[in-house]
Amino acid sequence: MTKNFTNRQALSPVVAAIILIAVTVAVAIVAATWLGSMSFSFMKTEEINVGNQVWASDMSYIDLTARNFGTDPITISTVEVNKEAAEDFTFQSGSATLRGGESAVIRVAHSFVSGAKYEFWIVTATGNKFPCVTSAPSTSVSYADWWDSSYDYRKHVTVTNNIGTTLSSGYSVCLTMDTATLVSSSKMLANGNDLRIVYWNGDTFTELDRDIIHMNTGSTQIWFKTQIDISPDSTDESYDLYYGSVSAVNPPANKSNVYLWYDNFDRANNPDITTETAYNIKTGGGTWSIESNVLKNVGSSGDPNKLIITALGDVNVAVDMLVKINVDSFNGGDASRMGLSCSMGTAPIGGGYCALFHDDTNSLDLLNDLLSWGTRGSYSWSLDSWYYMRFRVIDPASRLGQVNLWSVGAAEPSSWTLDGNFGSGSARNYGEIGFAGSRTTDTTYFDDILVRYLASSEPTTTLGLEEKI
């Protein structure tokens, strides 16, 4: 029996071509997938990306961030600079072997030159190299951008506000730097006369008063006052430090323009300092006078016995108080007490928190005046000797205070001599500040009183690269 195929029609040439193309593509896809599978399974590749680059302020090194973008571990064996081995490299974070997705910060030390272009190569243990090209920061500046052409060098100063609220202008900030190296390299005068702080408001330069401590050392402190508010957790880059003028003289150094209050009592003798409007309120029966350029207190009965810095009025923020103190005569016992006072109120006037030499020559005590003795500290001090006393009360409601005490000429201790409380008496509020005198016939001298505002977390200052005109 035969079948009749007469009704079947052959495929047209166009349809046949389409089918042939589809089959060819399908086979190609299968083959490509199989080959890709083969290469992925048996052929390994390394992929490192060199991202962040951070230069040291003196260009002695650069930190490079290397990340393994592959899936297999990679071991970094060396770093090349301009096709030569780096003088030194270390891992600041991470390790030489990076798993997939891991990063490491590599510090590359080399003899870098300002403004020069550098080609870095991260070399792996298998010999693969991954490049990064960047230039060292330029330190060449034009005359148009320079405050005073008689100064050869400058460094930008950045002030960072570390609190969550606005840091008001007028805050005394400290910049710590190595001046000894600059002096030894003949870039800075040993007396610091050429060390100047300059503020730029976007239109004009203003030279600021500054207070320099420990000049020509590795840890020189340079204090100056901020000129504008700094927003919460923000920075202000409006300041520059200039130096390198061999003819520099008479730098602005009025400490009253650096701190909230400063007085060195360098003026004519005055048997009663309360005749001065800045100190026209005292409490108790003692006398306060200026004698041989220092403040002198001879105690007497009366409680409390205080001299108030009335020029400051009611200080409604935390302050840091620093004074030099010398006890010339000391009867001993509870009435013998002298030091600093803050958070003083008007009911009764002079009542507040105190940091005091008290009772004997081995004590440093906290007092909530007229209410309660607080923490009794131990510090062996001597008569007729000058000491620095630093006193802080950051939050009066907490009834907590901190005191540092050290001999003039010595370094300030890194930890508080006394960190305690003002006892069980009612908490004070912010208020007037000043000196605490003895309630008996002791004689005490004070000098170089310094007061500055105090944030709960101090602002920090950083120096940029050295620039040369």
> Between residues 36 and 101, which one has the greater pLDDT?
101
Q: Which CATH superfamily is domain 261-453 in?
A: Exo-inulinase; domain 1 (2.60.120.560)
Is 60 exceeded by the pLDDT of residue 416? yes
| Mean pLDDT for the stretch of residues 221-236 | 95
Three-state secondary structure string covering 50-65: EEEEEECCCCCEEEEE
CA gyration radius for the chain? 36
**What pLDDT does residue 233 have?**
87
Structure tokens at 362: 């081995």
Output the pLDDT for position 140.
54
pLDDT at 60: 86
Q: How confident is the model at residue 25 (pLDDT cuts 50, 70, 90)?
A: very low
Strands (E) across 125-195 are located at 129-135, 153-160, 172-177
Instruction: Quote the DSSP letter at residue 159.
Output: E
* Whole-angstrom distance, CA of residue 221 vs CA of residue 241: 13
Distance in angstroms (rounded) separating the CA atoms of residues 50 and 291? 67
Q: Inform me whether the pLDDT recorded for 314 exceeds 90.
A: yes
3-class secondary-structure state, position 145 = helix
Residue the block writes with tokens 């009366």: 302
CB 180 within 8 A of CB 217: yes
Q: What is the mean pLDDT of residues 383-407?
A: 97
**Options 3.40.50.300, 2.60.40.10, 3.30.360.10, 3.30.70.100; which CATH number does 48-135 get?**
2.60.40.10
Reading the block at residue 461, the tokens are 């200052």
Residue 197, pLDDT above cutoff 90 = yes
Please give the Cα distance from 343 to 321 (Å, whole number). 12
Q: How many CB atoms lie within 10 A of CB 51?
A: 11
pLDDT score of 16:
42
Mean of pLDDT over the chain: 89
Is the confidence at residue 11, as pLDDT, over 70? no
**pLDDT tens digits for range 84-126:** 999 899 999 999 999 998 999 999 999 888 778 899 999 999 9
Q: Which of 289-294's residues contact partners 24+ apart within 8 Å by CB, and which partners?
A: 290/265, 293/264, 293/265, 293/266, 293/267, 293/447, 294/265, 294/445, 294/446, 294/447
Q: Tell me the average pLDDT across 322-336.
A: 98
pLDDT value at 350 more than 60: yes
Asked if residue 373 lies in contact with residue 424, where contact means CB atoms within 8 angstroms, the answer is no
Question: How large a percentage of the chain has pLDDT more than 70?
Answer: 89
The whole-angstrom separation of Cα 87 and Cα 314 is 59
Residues forming CATH 2.60.40.10 domain(s) in the chain? 48-135
Q: Are 235 and 418 in contact (CB under 8 A)?
A: no
| Mean pLDDT on 323-344 | 97
The whole-number pLDDT of residue 115 equals 77
What is the distance between the alpha carbons of residues 78 and 89, in angstroms, rounded to a whole number?
8
Which CATH number among 3.30.1380, 3.40.1000, 3.20.20, 2.60.40 corresponds to the domain 143-258?
Answer: 2.60.40
Residue 27 has pLDDT above 60, yes or no: no
What's the DSSP call for residue 457?
S
- Predicted confidence (pLDDT) at residue 229 exceeds the cutoff of 80: yes
pLDDT per residue over 431-440, tens digit each? 999 999 999 9
pLDDT of residue 348: 81
For residue 336, which of 286, 403, 390 has the smallest C-alpha distance? 286
- Res 143 pLDDT > 80: no
Q: What is the mean pLDDT of residues 47-59?
A: 81
Which pLDDT does position 287 carry in this prediction? 97
Q: Give 450-467 pLDDT, tens digit per residue.
A: 999 999 999 999 999 999
pTM over 0.75: no
Q: Nearest 5°: CA angle at 422, between 418 and 426?
A: 165
Preceding amide of 13 cis, omega within 30: no
State the residue for tokens 């960047």. 134
| Closest residue by Cα to residue 395 from 440, 342, 345 | 342
